[in-house]
Structure 1
Amino acid sequence: MTTLRLAIVGAGPAGIYAADILLKAERSFDVSIDLFEHLPAPYGLVRYGVAPDHPRIKGVITALREVLDRGDIRIFGNVEFGRDITLDDLKRHYNAVIFATGAVRDATLDIPGIDAEGSYGAADFVSWFDGHPDVPRTWPLTAQSVAVVGNGNVALDVTRILAKHADDLLPTEIPANVYEGLKASPVTDVHVFGRRGPAQVKFTPLELRELGELRDVDMVVYDEDFDYDEASRTAIESNKQVKVIDRVLQEWRTRPGVNNAGGTASRRLHLHFWARPVEVKVDDEGHVSGFVYERTRPDGVGGVTGTGELREVPVQAVYRAVGYFGSPLPEVPFDERHGVIPNHEGQVLHADSNELVPGMYATGWIKRGPVGLIGHTKSDAMETVRHLINGQGSWWQPEDPSEDAIPALLAERGVQWTDLDGWHRLDQHEIGLGEPEGRARIKVVPRDEMVSISRGE
């Protein structure tokens, strides 16, 4: 029987789901799968893109762990595609590749002053507080007043971590350096800005409700933002999720501290709707000094239009949480405008001709852009895997498809790769670090330490 030797680049949910779906699919051939991951540990944004105080979402790791622990998928961690292993290497040793590298860069926000000192991308901040090994160990938390631009769940994660008292994060897996950084933060006010109204936000109700449960943090909303138009009222009446969000916000309007009146907490979290970013103000030293926005209003067809009224809020830091963006891979077609690998239902296309590229596939955010939840990644992978199975005639014909070839190649190049046993060692080590403090785990942050523990050195 024919054997499909498949490489998958990226060991987050997208890559692991694709491997699992292929192994369970009806097919007329055997399958041998190798996962390549540039980090020493698997699980991608579930490990490095979800706030540490969200253990429910991290429960997805349990399902992913079960897939890997079956033992029918090999994983090569700490291996960077394009440097440690190339596209030519894959063609020499595999029949096909699925790229599942996600989207980890911040989308741009093209307004004056956005590159000033004190202006940050949310993705970089999330990587820092999640203990990503490739970002600096320190973060400049010196601002008393902060602006967060965006109305999605990432914006809420950033907002919550900035406003929350560091001691309240201690039960989580937050790394020690992150705790110390947040503990020293002088923040008193976090302002969240969204272009549209309360009925059009992209938050999930659970994420929003959690904001109102923060200890010693007053929620501040503004009555002027709740003059709903007909489209907003219809959205609230017809959509259960929007109705719950409205109920939460309306409850906050009745609390002390709303509209800046009578709050007693040491920190305040302000939600500003109908606010289009216009400019980041910069002082003489090149540092953020304010955030300028234009009041917007509904345009009657589901969007917004400017009112011409400009307002400025004094802040010393700005975080843009306006979306993630994909990164190009060496020798792989890339759509610079949309931040994805050009594809048709997961089949990679030449960037200039829209013709199919034999043997190359994509899944997850690098396929469709950074939209949708983890559940969407499964249906995404099913579509890609279906084309892979049906495209047997366009598979590569490798010179050496033997499973021994890859470890030999990496060893010859001096690559210190980590495998599944290594992940188990690191996993147990982190859990052991957390046990004396009654925590689920404490993450190891430095890459060399992660690799050394994983390899039992």
Structure 2
Amino acid sequence: MTGAARVLVVGAGPAGLYAATALAAAEVEVDVAERLPTPFGLVRYGVAPDHPKIKSVAGVLSRPFSSPGVRFLGNVEVGVDLTPADLARHYDAVVYATGAPVGRMAGIEGEDLPGSAPAGDFVSWYSGHPDAPDLSPLLASRRVAVIGAGNVALDVVRLLVKDPASLAGTDLPDHVLAALRASAVTDVHLVARRGPAQVRFTPAELRELGELPGVDVLVAAEDVAGALAEAADGSRADRANVDILCEWARRAPGGRDRRVWLRFRRRPVRLLGPDRVSGLVVRGEREELLPVQGVLHAVGYGAVPLPGLPFDRDSGTVPHVAGRVVDPERGVLPGVYVAGWLKRGATGVIGTNKADAGETAASLLADLPGLRRAPDRDPGSVTALLSRRGVPVVTWEGWRRIEREEERLGARQGRAVAKLADLPAMLALATRPGGPRG
């Protein structure tokens, strides 16, 4: 292959941007297509607002766009705005890194009642995702249950009980901050099927929950009985979690205004309520009724099948070998690659995507000499095609206009950033010449 290779990365989350970085370092021309007008994926729409240090990785993820050979094509949905035939015409290879955007449910009776939702939807709502459903009505509940035993469950519990005044300096959208200030939630029950020695909490995040002002964290002594012995052969994190939980089990309630109840070895059985959630039945040594009016299911995320790609529904991933997409019937699909959660499932932390994307990029670079060349190699042909189809493409500078407006709005309120969530407003801002005024 002579001349610079042309690759499309689908998805501007961590996996896609780490892949773009690795490819750009090899002097490959890269377009990054993102369905939203904003980059960074779960860094922007999944990291809790009170964890700004984690969000700072966005600076690293932005680096490929300083290269003249890398472009951001925001507000472009591959499969809709660009067809498979378009991709074959304009790109030598395609890397799919669309993540696992669908929050899963626990799979119990009554989970379709109003007041029951995936925790991922709640995360998207408080993170200002343009597609997120309005979950502010959940905050009218006095008592809420969160089903799950991982860090997403902890994030959701913490945001439900944390003093909104302590969130006023974060990047929460204005409408979310207002809803949290008006919240009626006083009690949150975290329901975990696992025992204390088997949960998947990060000890630092678990400890953070116990340090919230105005919040009692309650653990029943019988729930941690035997946990120290169970954790003895586990990881350092397992032992740290059990130590924290045992300490909490020894503490007397402080009579604070808000309470978190940690309930282990409880299997959710069914939700009650003819018209909306009025209770959650769980089963441990016996059945118990938790009188909650809302339930959030923090039991993981799932990917969705993409047109033209094989998909393993059991694992929720695209079959691959070292990032090379493999169809069970046709074998390896030349020039088609996958990275991130779509590749390995919804596991790991943000940094896990670096090695994951690096493996995929290495496979692609090794394959390049044998790949077919796209017939149309003019980058301008892609944007001209999208323009003819009426797609308002958001460039990197267009995204920066959104970012600067969020900083301007935040400065007016005494905070660094106030996140925008209205898609038409963001598009108007990003595609208007000259950007915002005032």
Bin of the TM-score, shorter chain as denominator length: over 0.9
1:151 aligns with 2:140: no
CA distance in 1: counterparts of 2:122 and 2:143, whole angstroms: 16
Aligned position for 2:436: none
2:244 to 230, 245, 248: 248
Q: Which residue identity lines up with residue 290 of structure 1 in the other structure?
A: G
Structure 1: gaps of 5 or more residues: 258-262, 296-306
Q: CA deviation at 1:2?
A: 3.2
Q: CA deviation at 1:242?
A: 2.2
Residues 410 and 213 (structure 1), Cα distance of their counterparts in 2 relative to 1, 3 Å cut: same
CA distance in 1: counterparts of 2:132 and 2:105, whole angstroms: 19
- Aligned-residue CA RMSD (Å): 1.7
- CA offsets 1:5-61 (integer angstroms, 9 cap, x no match): 100000011001011112335xxxx41100000010100010001111110110111
Q: CA deviation at 1:400?
A: 0.7
Deviates more, 1:378-387 or 1:69-78: 69-78
CA distance in 2: counterparts of 1:231 and 1:77, whole angstroms: 52
CA distance in 1: counterparts of 2:128 and 2:369, whole angstroms: 44
Matches within 5 A, 1:284-323: 284=274, 286-295=275-284, 307=285, 309-323=286-300
Q: Which residue identity lines up with residue 220 of structure 2 in the other structure?
A: Y
1:128 aligns with 2:125: yes
1:78 to 71, 75, 85: 75
1:343 aligns with 2:282: no
Matches within 5 A, 1:213-224: 213-224=211-222
Q: CA deviation at 1:116?
A: 1.1
Q: CA deviation at 1:398?
A: 1.5
Matches within 5 A, 1:244-393: 244-257=240-253, 263-281=254-272, 283-284=273-274, 286-295=275-284, 307=285, 309-350=286-327, 352-353=328-329, 355-392=331-368
Percent identity, please: 44
1:51 to 48, 52, 56: 48
Q: CA deviation at 1:230?
A: 7.4
1:449 aligns with 2:425: yes
Matches within 5 A, 1:27-176: 30-137=27-134, 139-140=136-137, 141-176=139-174
- CA offsets 1:213-251 (integer angstroms, 9 cap, x no match): 21211111110011126761324xx53222322232233
- CA offsets 1:265-312 (integer angstroms, 9 cap, x no match): 11100100111121112x23x2111111121xxxxxxxxxxx5x2222
Q: CA deviation at 1:456?
A: 2.8
CA distance in 2: counterparts of 1:154 and 1:415, whole angstroms: 35
- CA offsets 1:60-113 (integer angstroms, 9 cap, x no match): 112112332344310100111111112211111000000000011012322111
Under a length normalisation based on structure 1, what TM-score does the superposition of the two structures give? 0.91
CA distance in 2: counterparts of 1:83 and 1:241, whole angstroms: 44
Q: Which residue identity lines up with residue 271 of structure 2 in the other structure?
A: V
Structure 2: gaps of 5 or more residues: 434-438
The question of whether the paired residues in 2 share the 8 Å contact of 1:209 and 1:248 is answered with: yes
CA distance in 1: counterparts of 2:231 and 2:6, whole angstroms: 54
Residues 139 and 387 (structure 1), Cα distance of their counterparts in 2 relative to 1, 3 Å cut: same
Q: CA deviation at 1:114?
A: 1.1
**How many equivalent pairs are there?**
431
Under a length normalisation based on structure 2, what TM-score does the superposition of the two structures give? 0.94
Residues 389 and 406 (structure 1), Cα distance of their counterparts in 2 relative to 1, 3 Å cut: same
Deviates more, 1:431-440 or 1:245-254: 245-254
| Stretches of 4+ aligned residues off by more than 6 angstroms | none
CA distance in 2: counterparts of 1:156 and 1:452, whole angstroms: 36
The question of whether the paired residues in 2 share the 8 Å contact of 1:138 and 1:178 is answered with: no
Q: CA deviation at 1:393?
A: 5.2
